[in-house]
Amino acid sequence: MAAEGSSGGNRRYDPDRKARIIEATLEVIAVQGVSGTTHRRVAEAADVPLGSMTYHFASLDDLIEQAFLKLTQEIAHHFDAAFQKAQTAEEAREAVVDVMCGWFAMTERKMTLILELYAYVARKPDIRHVMTGWMAKSREALERHFSPDVATSLDAIIEGATIHNFMYPEGIPREAARRIVAKLSS
């Protein structure tokens, strides 16, 4: 469908194209890794012309950065929601245990993407803000219920436990997680 008033060609009005490209980038990273992510693969996954890549994004690094920003914002939103539900200190501690022991929002795909993000940031320090922004949002959610020092410690434990549980299928037992959380938050 040609856009009204456009001259020449079949230019299609596609207001969701940029968002679709970002989502396709995450899919490509999940399957191919950052090292296997190319403009061509993303354009194909998003079903857009290759030229759309450079129209919407200054570079492949810009595209990957925006995709990782989307990922971390989604995870931070779910994390925040988990802690908004807690009304008491005990409920907040149990929310930490839930996150440590197999949080529903941390799918295998998301964990694969997070591990790719860690490696990418290690090689591209100029996008470290993606990680530090995500960590700040996590601590902010935790600080509704815990002191800043405790929130920082819990955030670090959650991060490590989440990775551990991804790698080790049996994971951390809930009772062990409760003891850890109780010690850190008392």
Q: In the chain, where are the structural domains located?
A: 17-185
Superfamily name with CATH number, domain 17-185? Tetracycline Repressor, domain 2 (1.10.357.10)
| CA-based nearest residue to 117, from 104, 131, 100, 132 | 131
Name the pLDDT band for 106 (thresholds 50, 70, 90).
confident
CB distance 132 to 111 below 8 Å: no
Q: Which runs of consecutive H residues, i.e. helices, occur in 38-173?
A: 39-46, 51-56, 60-84, 89-100, 108-123, 128-142, 148-167
User: Which of 7-16, 43-52, 155-164, 167-176 has the lowest average pLDDT?
Assistant: 7-16
Q: Among positive and negative, which fits the CA dihedral 118, 124, 127, 133?
A: positive
- From the list 154, 180, 165, 168, the residue with the least C-alpha distance to 102 is 165
| Token reading at 100 | 């440590």
Radius of gyration of the chain (CA): 20
Question: What local confidence, expressed as pLDDT, does residue 105 receive?
Answer: 65
Model pLDDT for residues 129-161, shown as the tens digit of each residue: 999 999 999 999 999 999 999 999 999 999 999
